[in-house]
Amino acid sequence: MDRLLHLFLFILFFSLLLNKIYEKIITRLIMANHFIFFFHLPHITSTKHHPCNNQ
For 26, the enclosing helix (H) or strand (E) is helix 2-54
Residue-level pLDDT at 18 = 92
Band the pLDDT of 54: cuts 50, 70, 90: low
Please state the rounded mean pLDDT for residues 4-30: 92
Amino acid at 47: T
The Cα–Cα gap between 11 and 13 comes to 5
Band the pLDDT of 13: cuts 50, 70, 90: very high
pLDDT in tens, 21-49: 999 998 888 888 777 777 766 665 565 55
